[in-house]
Amino acid sequence: MNHKMLVILVVLTFFLQPVLINAESGALKEIKLPAPKEIRMPLEKALMRRNSVRVFSEENISLKDLSTILWAAYGYTSKGRTIYCFDCAVKIYVLMKDGVYVYNPERHALVLYKEGDYRDVSQYKAPVQIGIVWNRTKGEENLSCAEIGAIGQNVYLAANALDLGTVTTVGFTLKSIGLPKDEVPKIIMPLGHLKHPYKFIYLPFLISNFPRVKFSNVSLTEVLNELEKCKEFGGNLTEQEKAQIIWSTYGYSYYVDFTKDEFRYHLYRHRTVPSAHAYYPLRIYAITKEGIYRFIPNIYDPIYKIPIAFIPIPIPVFSFIVKVKSGDHREVVSEAIDVNVSSSPLIIISVLDLDRTRPKGHDDFSGKEFRWLWYYEAGASAHNALLEAVTSNLSANIYPIKSKETILNLLELSEDKFDPLLVTAIGTSQRR
Ligand SMILES: Cc1cc2nc3c(=O)[nH]c(=O)nc-3n(C[C@H](O)[C@H](O)[C@H](O)COP(=O)(O)O)c2cc1C
């Protein structure tokens, strides 16, 4: 072999090496993620610490932490998945310094999509950006966004419990990575270490007519591992269990957040889910054998111009569950979703209050083209109920509403002002 040939051989070997390695996995380049960490934080604590972080330090995220967050977001468990999947029409891109990767949940791996640093597509600078897209050929837009809401929720909970931070942001700019034609960019979640460490103070200053939320001894990892679709809808719930589940859908945190933040819209008391523009436009109804109840997370409410969440002093949260109709209406709900939930001990319905998506002097997000934002929020809220149900050995399912008219009539609400989004039925599982 002459000198020239030897050089060609060395060069070829160098360039072919990654291809040869990757030929084994059938992918261009794949990073196998390590097993996820166990997140020991009790679910309720994680829910109470959920908040949006927009300023990050330069520090990188370890592969172990990234693995944990991605698994929590959309991973597989021995019982199914870490979220309730409607059509599983969602894909997660992970934008890092060296390139854009796709999260492959089946292999729990990152598959290289494109080389290059595209992280500046995000509103906020962070070492990792999680981009979530909806595939329009695989599922309906609003339900897919409800699924993204559940994914986002798990990203928030896992990141915060690992002392990392994130925020849900509208992600149209993700299209500049060059997406396949059927994929529609929806959400970008920056992920990083905090520039200012978390500082939460437990101030459960609450005036309410239902039991106070207790920390269960069930960790976030256990809950995610145990999530499964409901097989039966019987059983009874204690008042405590009902209160925990209802609170998880839209309640206020018992923590006051004194974390330093450069943003004028930093909240001091967060809620269990995020909300676009912090409008929090959902009404949460709870339906039991005895009647229909409305959950009022706080009587101080941005819509009444008293923005309690911005006040850094422990003003009490006045939270109530109010009966709005007597009688057993679970048959009617069953009709509306076309599934028999008439023996479910607790049914939750999220209804969009359109007036709250168009507050005077603020952006109007009441149009149909923005409905996906509110499905994200309803999906996150319903997902919390699923997670909280697990702590009581219950399980639950989320259902789209087939006849919105039936629900509007049942709740005596008008179509021009309200839009019912999702139904969650909670019941006994085989574990109980
Ligand atoms: C669907 C959705 C879209 C959002 N879009 C943005 C955004 O583009 N930029 C941003 O800074 N925050 C965004 N947020 C975060 C909200 O502003 C935040 O949840 C709200 O202010 C409440 O604050 P907290 O999450 O810290 O409790 C969005 C939240 C949701 C649910």
Whether 186 lines ligand 1, by a CB cut-off of 6 Å, is no
211 with 334, same domain: the answer is: yes
Residue in the block written with tokens 């949460």:
284
The predicted-structure confidence for 176-187, as pLDDT tens digits, reads as follows 999 999 999 999
- For residues 72 and 35, give the distance between their C-alpha atoms in angstroms, rounded to a whole number: 12
Residue in the block written with tokens 């967050």:
69
270 with 122, same domain: the answer is: no
- Please state whether the predicted TM-score (pTM) of the whole model is above 0.95: no
56 with 142, same domain: the answer is: yes
Percent of the chain with pLDDT over 70: 91
Q: In this structure, is residue 111 part of a structural domain?
A: yes
Q: How far is the CA of 170 from the centre of ligand 1 (A)?
A: 8
Give the DSSP H or E segment for 385: helix 371-391
130 with 236, same domain: the answer is: no
Give the structural domain span for 423: 200-428
The predicted-structure confidence for 203-257, as pLDDT tens digits, reads as follows 999 999 999 999 999 999 999 999 987 777 888 999 999 999 999 999 999 999 9
Number of domains making up the chain: 2
Whether 169 lines ligand 1, by a CB cut-off of 6 Å, is yes
Residues facing 76 on adjacent strands:
81
**Domain final position from 165, 193, 221:** 193
- For residues 412 and 414, give the distance between their C-alpha atoms in angstroms, rounded to a whole number: 7
- The CATH number of whichever domain residue 259 belongs to comes to 3.40.109.10
The predicted-structure confidence for 50-93, as pLDDT tens digits, reads as follows 999 999 999 999 999 999 999 999 999 999 999 999 999 999 99
Whether 123 lines ligand 1, by a CB cut-off of 6 Å, is yes
Q: In this structure, is residue 286 part of a structural domain?
A: yes
Ligand 1 atom closest to residue 376's alpha carbon, by position in its atom list: 1
The protein residue with its alpha carbon nearest to ligand 1, atom 9, reads 169
